[in-house]
Structure 1
Amino acid sequence: MKMNTLLLSGMVAGVATLSASAMAQDVDPNLPVYERTSGVSGNITSIGSDTLNNLMTLWAEEFNRFYPNVNVQIQGAGSSTAPPAVTEGTATFGPMSRAMRDSEIQSFEERHGYEPYALPVAIDTLAVYVNRDNPIEGLSLPQVDAIFSSTRFSDHPEDITRWGQVGLDGAWVNRDIPLYSRNAVSGTYGYFRDVALFGGDFKASINEQPGSSSVVQGVAETINGIGYSGIGYITSGVRAIPLSREHGGEFFEPNADNAATGDYPLARFLYVYVNKHPNEPLEPSVAEFVRMLYSQVGQEVVVRDGFVPLPASAAERVLRDLDLL
């Protein structure tokens, strides 16, 4: 049974036409104001994305301000841990920095008889980081592909292993390019492979890291290093460089405006998956957590954690689809 496939496809198509409030990274004033209700108790467990780990933790803190007796536990080992946890019932929520794969949806459906429900909760810009002392102006996606991949499906004419190959001169000409990457359990790893590597394979020389902050730290400590991670993990030791879709194309900064318009090429939805029976309501604690996500206070947390908030129109679609309005 198709749960919210059409809803999601409509929202994805609308990334380029988000409201002005989302583009300015201010919370849409038309989002509902969340109000505490009675009869909410129990336990909530979140297992999944490292990228969303801090965001889920902040949401849990906000939720506990309304409902101090609800116990919320957060685990963030990687997006690939979310589907089995939601399928097996060991997690209430499965945050993911990518959409579930067909095989993951099929496993859930075989067990429950319907698809898991995908909640698009924020927009993330996936940044390519270099050391703060690296003078590179920007890179095209084909160049990024040639730096990180062994396959070069973008048809870039040569493998890129030194900074001089992307225009740097002086002491940078012969400096090699150490690569920092998330590990294969990460949704960020999968998204970067699918989009920046055009579906190709990473080089065997990548330094796989267990978390997004580890990627950024590695680049900060390696003057000629390069890596990728969510923009929310930026530190003073790195620069998030502008990117273009095509070689010779216009560079766009990884910021809220360019993510919302679709100009920045590595913008994506972040999701939280939940087991929602199509003919039964969500449990009260789950329903209220979802309501809070799509309220002003919930999307203020999104901004606070460095992501792009959703407009009221997107929130209304989900809440109406779940009969939570």
Structure 2
Amino acid sequence: MASSHDADGNGITRRKSLAALAGVGALGLAGCTSDSGGDGSDGSSGDGSESLSGDIRISGSSTVYPVAQEVTRQFSEQHSEVDFNLTRDGSGGGFNNVFIPGDSDMNNASRPITENELQRCRDNGIEPVEFFLAQDALTVVVNNEADFIDSISLEDLGTIWSPDTKPETWADVNSDWPDEPFDLYGPASTSGTYDYFIEAVIGETEADQDIREDFEGTEEDDLIAQGVSGNQYALGYLPFAYYTNNPDSVKALSLSEGGSEPVEPSLEGAQSGNYPLARPLFTYGHMGKIQEKNHLQEFIRYYINEADEDYIAQDIGYVPSSSDMVEANLTALEEAIAGEYEYSA
């Protein structure tokens, strides 16, 4: 089965494809969680049965982590004999250090799996099963006292973060901005958000590294907001969900691209693809383990259906799955259970 994203040559999903996959009215759709496995197990029926048991290891993205955290919490209430080990390793860190070695059942990711990661999975006998869960509006933030700026272009962002240009002060980029040095914050290099930002904002560089190195990198997205809130001339970027959790501590910038009008970060902008840094969010399952573990099958089925629920937008801050995305994900799960799934970009 082909994966549900339309990627460019570097594996980054195009924004306009997100609108098509999301469908009309994704923000208002309610998920159905009554589907159960074909083997007669209770699965995700929600009747409180304790028939499922076993361990599930989930690695990967800190961006997707809030969704996985809530879904595992709910599933555990229904199936207390299923034990979860959920960690924030970053998309790349989770793939490279946990999922590809075969140590996790699932890996959350804030960007598509790369060709290199896919090949290494297959070299280790793993076929990754892609589930497109939600959408994010990656948000650029500044200090609340930064009254000199309300919007920024992707081109200026690229200038600020590129190792080729590496300006020292705001005024080096725009003479209307203060002659004050940057204090930069962002995700660590193991993060899928880091990878996405480089591809979408910086692009290819002449330097030996992909991004300037003099910034504070972390897998704890809340720490990015905290860092920016502590310095008047700070700049950072983080998932929309983490901005909505810190709305009073930092200011979000509207973004423009190619001379367009600036667009505020929002769920509507992410859903339509009009926001310049709209991006997809995924989880990947280990097909062999899906075939072996009934409790993993039923958890993934529950995860897929919960990604369609209103609270994904209202309480977490991402665009939920559409009904079409849910159906595509459930089809991928059934193909994986049958051993017939094959990932294709």
Q: Could you say which TM-score interval applies, normalised by the shorter chain?
A: 0.7 to 0.9
Q: TM-score if structure 2 supplies the norm length?
A: 0.81
Q: For residue 96 of structure 1, what is the amino acid of its counterpart? A: A
Alignment identity in percent?
25
Distance 1:288 1:301 in 2: 21
Instruction: Assess, with a 3 A threshold, how the Cα gap between structure 1 residues 321 and 53 changes in structure 2: closer, same or farther.
Output: closer
Instruction: Assess, with a 3 A threshold, how the Cα gap between structure 1 residues 297 and 54 changes in structure 2: closer, same or farther.
Output: closer
Q: For residue 216 of structure 1, what is the amino acid of its counterpart? A: A
Which stretch shows the higher mean deviation, 206-215 or 225-234? 206-215
- Alpha-carbon distance, 1:192 to partner: 0.6
- Residues 139, 239 of structure 2: 8 Å contact kept: yes
Structure 1 unaligned runs (5+)? 153-158
The residue aligned with 2:184 is: 179
1:124 aligns with 2:127: no
The residue aligned with 1:155 is: none
Count of matched residue pairs: 307
The residue aligned with 2:104 is: 91
What's the C-alpha RMSD, in Å, of the aligned pairs?
Answer: 2.5
The residue aligned with 1:156 is: none
The residue aligned with 1:15 is: 18
Q: 3-state DSSP class of the match of 1:124?
A: strand
Residue of structure 1 aligned with 2:227, choices 199, 206, 218? 218
- Residues 94, 272 of structure 1: 8 Å contact kept: yes
Q: For residue 305 of structure 2, what is the amino acid of its counterpart? A: S
- Alpha-carbon distance, 1:165 to partner: 5.3
1:306 aligns with 2:337: no
Residue of structure 2 aligned with 1:73, choices 81, 85, 88? 85
- Residues 231, 240 of structure 1: 8 Å contact kept: no
- Alpha-carbon distance, 1:313 to partner: 0.8
Q: For residue 24 of structure 2, what is the amino acid of its counterpart? A: A
Structure 1 residue runs of 4+, over 6 Å off?
A: none
Q: For residue 314 of structure 1, what is the amino acid of its counterpart? A: M
- Alpha-carbon distance, 1:98 to partner: 1.6
Distance 1:202 1:111 in 2: 31
The residue aligned with 2:305 is: 295
Q: TM-score if structure 1 supplies the norm length?
A: 0.86
The residue aligned with 1:241 is: 253
Distance 2:319 2:6 in 1: 19
Distance 1:214 1:187 in 2: 17
Q: 3-state DSSP class of the match of 2:312?
A: helix
- Residues 133, 325 of structure 2: 8 Å contact kept: no
Instruction: Assess, with a 3 A threshold, how the Cα gap between structure 1 residues 194 and 232 changes in structure 2: closer, same or farther.
Output: same
Residue of structure 1 aligned with 2:113, choices 84, 94, 100? 100
1:33 aligns with 2:61: no
Instruction: Assess, with a 3 A threshold, how the Cα gap between structure 1 residues 323 and 128 changes in structure 2: closer, same or farther.
Output: same
Distance 1:193 1:177 in 2: 18
Q: 3-state DSSP class of the match of 1:323?
A: helix
Q: What do the CA deviations read for 1:32-75 (whole angstroms, capped 9, x no partner)?
A: 23323763211111111122222211111011122122111111
Distance 2:142 2:168 in 1: 14
- Residues 307, 320 of structure 2: 8 Å contact kept: no
Residue of structure 2 aligned with 1:150, choices 163, 170, 176? 163
Q: 3-state DSSP class of the match of 2:63?
A: coil
Instruction: Assess, with a 3 A threshold, how the Cα gap between structure 1 residues 138 and 213 changes in structure 2: closer, same or farther.
Output: same
- Residues 162, 176 of structure 1: 8 Å contact kept: yes
Structure 2 unaligned runs (5+)? 8-12, 35-44, 338-345
- Residues 61, 110 of structure 2: 8 Å contact kept: yes
Distance 1:134 1:168 in 2: 15
- Alpha-carbon distance, 1:16 to partner: 2.0
